[in-house]
């Protein structure tokens, strides 16, 4: 489905909602989602990413299944 079609369908659904609580939940969700992409990374997160890149460059890799086993 084309993205513009999806947007129009969402607009139609939102326009049909009469419950203010539901509209507020939708608004909160959309604002939270859009702000989430704008939130800057913390210094710790940046350091972790840089460490991961350095490890990859040194050839220190593990299989994804191994990673999943470690984080469970």
pLDDT tens digits, 6-42: 989 999 999 999 999 999 999 888 887 766 665 677 8
- Claim to verify: residue 33 and residue 50 sit in the same structural domain: no
Q: What is the pLDDT of residue 34?
A: 65
- Claim to verify: residue 33 and residue 2 sit in the same structural domain: yes
- Claim to verify: residue 46 and residue 30 sit in the same structural domain: no
Total tally of structural domains belonging to the chain: 2
Structure token pair of residue 15: 């326009």
- Claim to verify: residue 66 and residue 33 sit in the same structural domain: no
**Cα dihedral: 30, 17, 20, 37 (round 10):** 0
Whether the CB-CB separation of 23 and 17 falls below 8 Å is answered with: yes
- Claim to verify: residue 33 and residue 59 sit in the same structural domain: no
pTM of the model: 0.45
């Amino acid at each position: 489905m084309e993205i513009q079609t999806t947007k129009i369908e969402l607009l139609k659904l939102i326009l049909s909602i009469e419950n203010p609580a539901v509209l507020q939940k939708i608004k909160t969700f959309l604002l939270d989602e859009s702000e989430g992409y704008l939130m800057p990374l913390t210094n710790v997160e940046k350091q972790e990413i840089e460490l991961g890149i350095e490890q990859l460059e040194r050839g220190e890799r593990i299989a994804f299944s191994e990673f999943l086993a470690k984080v469970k």
